[in-house]
Amino acid sequence: MLKTGALQRAILSSANFSSIATDEKGVIQVFNVGAEHMLGYEAAAVIDRVTPADFSDPQEVILRARALSLEFGTTIEPGFEALVFKASRGIEDIYELTYLRKDGSRLPAVVSVTALHDALGAIIGYLLIGTDNTARKQVDLALQERNRDLRGAKIAAELANQAKSDFLSSMSHELRSPLNAILGFAQLIDSGTPPPTPPQKDSIDQILQAGWYLLELINEILDLALIESGKLSLSPEPVLLAELLAECLAMIEPMSRKAGIDVKLIAPEGPWLVKADRTRLKQVAVNLLSNAVKYNRPHGTVEVRCRVMPGNRIRVSFQDTGEGLGADKLARLFQPFDRLGRETGAEEGTGIGLVVSKRLVELMGGRIGADSVVGVGSLFWIELNATKVVEADTDPIAPFAAPPLAIAADAPAKALRTVLCVEDNPANLLLVGRLLERRPDIRLLSAKDGRRGIEQARAALPDVILMDINLPGISGITALKILAGDPLTRHIPVIALSANAMPKDVASGLAAGFFRYLTKPIKVDEFMATLDLALDTPRPPSRQDLDEAIAP
């Protein structure tokens, strides 16, 4: 008994927590020292006088009563009843509340409410044990402020990324437009009749070399910006390595032949496939191959090999016989704009290609690395995850045999075809005009904005429309939608010819319904091949055909 009495006295005299006991009606019967310290009232002033609800924030009590009413499907009156409702049903409740102290200040607290029973199980009162919750509230507040700051920083970063993306897209457009004229007219002169003289040819080659290099720099900077902003989308698929590498070797063959470098592909032992984005993997392989050729020694070699690695991975290596790299340069290989001391050399380079390649390989779930020996050469490699072999259809496809055409000696000349070019840039329009001057079977019409282009298309019903995207008035995409919604013009193939060359621009253009999406600067061979493809599509019905079709 002495021990029990000592415990009771310790509880009543403890200043670390409040201990408040009430009778069954909620009137306070016990108010310990901790409660006096927390609330600022003396025990004599509250015992047999008030309930704990009198010390609580009334708005919190009302809200708690409403919540309990919804939880139990019965009406709970605000007041002490709201604090003890669960306890009266044998459910101990722990919740946060705000005490109103005698001096008017507010004290956050955590309170546990327990019903007290007599020997027969009847409720004779309630016990409320409370602790000061100020420190926790301060931490919660600090965390909330921190979270707000983080959300604000995230929003600011997203806005900055979007601004950077918009800026880069705009700069890409602005740089590509003059490049289109430079490279387009240079290609035009290079392939003109009569051919340029040897000195002129040298000058044209210099213009083309510098122009394509500048375009490469623009593309690599845009790729790097997209990767760093997390906006580069990839389309992983099974890629047959032998086929892709053969395509890459064919692409760099003119470069290797000019440099006198022998490039060999050691054929893989089997039909190995890797999971990768085909376009981006080809970009990486071409970059590594071109570097192996550029930085090789005269009459050197490049060997491309594939081998299986542990962990179901395949390694593709590119071995050259160049000067090799020391340990200090190897450590700097994948740093942006670092050309490892070759800035003043004869070979052009951006110092970005390897950085972009590394990021692309990593985004495809792979690794990239290099080994090198000074005076012997360098070996660059990429590792990618192998995937299951896709069984190809082995049934041969019969070639399409067109019936021989009997052409009469007096057959009429090839019908004149009409091409409408909707372009507001005079230099770009002049370039298209000069290119089509070489095609006597084509008549060129032009319009300088989208609305005039639509009017011209309805009036002339051209065979093909070349459409810029950024046009005065309405955009090329809006003009395309109007043309597609008109029975007179919906069948005319429309080719986008735009300096908006970001991947998202190309994707949205194709999704909008363009027949093809060509980016500026124009590559003459690609442009002419695409134009021929569009001209070979079934021609739209003539106005007479349409009139007859809708006649009663």
What are the DSSP calls for 2-68, one per residue?
HHHHHHHHHHHH-SSSEEEEEETT--EEEE-HHHHHHH---HHHHTTT--GGGGB-HHHHHHHHHHH
Count of positions (residues) in the chain: 552
Spatial separation of the C-alpha atoms in residues 86 and 126, rounded to whole Å: 11
Do the Cβ atoms of 68 and 85 come closer than 8 Å? yes
Spatial separation of the C-alpha atoms in residues 19 and 112, rounded to whole Å: 10
Look at the alpha carbons of 479, 485, 489, 495 in this order and tell me if their dihedral is positive or negative: positive
Question: What does the pLDDT read at residue 401?
Answer: 31
The pTM score is 0.49
What CATH number does the domain located at 2-132 have?
3.30.450.20
| Position 133, amino acid | N
Query: What contacts 332, CB < 8 A, 6 or more positions away?
Result: 338, 340
Query: In the numeric block, which tokens belong to residue 10?
Result: 């310790």
Spatial separation of the C-alpha atoms in residues 437 and 339, rounded to whole Å: 43
Query: In the numeric block, which tokens belong to residue 550?
Result: 């809708």
Spatial separation of the C-alpha atoms in residues 465 and 19, rounded to whole Å: 86
What CATH number does the domain located at 417-550 have?
3.40.50.2300
Q: What is the pLDDT of residues 366-396, one digit of tens each?
A: 999 999 899 899 999 999 999 864 333 333 3
The C-alpha torsion from 142 through 144 and 145 to 150, rounded to 10°, is 120
Query: In the numeric block, which tokens belong to residue 511?
Result: 């999704």
Spatial separation of the C-alpha atoms in residues 489 and 503, rounded to whole Å: 28
Do the Cβ atoms of 522 and 181 come closer than 8 Å? no
Spatial separation of the C-alpha atoms in residues 80 and 87, rounded to whole Å: 12
Do the Cβ atoms of 179 and 215 come closer than 8 Å? yes
Of the candidate CATH numbers 3.60.40.10, 3.30.565.10, 2.60.40.1120, 3.30.70.3270, the domain formed by 236-385 belongs to: 3.30.565.10
Query: In the numeric block, which tokens belong to residue 468?
Result: 């810029």
CA nearest neighbour of 168 among 233, 211, 232? 232
Query: In the numeric block, which tokens belong to residue 465?
Result: 């429309």
CA nearest neighbour of 328 among 375, 381, 374? 374
The three-state secondary structure class of 335 is coil
State the maximum Cα–Cα separation within the chain, in Å, rounded to a whole number. 132
Query: In the numeric block, which tokens belong to residue 300?
Result: 């050197």
Do the Cβ atoms of 285 and 315 come closer than 8 Å? no
Question: What does the pLDDT read at residue 384?
Answer: 94
Spatial separation of the C-alpha atoms in residues 495 and 434, rounded to whole Å: 18
Write out the H or E segment, with its range, that includes residue 184: helix 134-190
| Residue 219 CB neighbour total at 10 angstroms | 18
| Position 485, amino acid | G
What are the DSSP calls for 411-451, one per residue?
PPPPPPEEEEEE---HHHHHHHHHHHTT-TTEEEEEESSHH
Spatial separation of the C-alpha atoms in residues 543 and 535, rounded to whole Å: 18
| Position 532, amino acid | D
Spatial separation of the C-alpha atoms in residues 298 and 388, rounded to whole Å: 41
Spatial separation of the C-alpha atoms in residues 320 and 370, rounded to whole Å: 11
| Residue 349 CB neighbour total at 10 angstroms | 19
Do the Cβ atoms of 278 and 237 come closer than 8 Å? yes
Which residue ranges in the chain fall short of pLDDT 50?
Answer: 1-2, 343-345, 389-413, 549
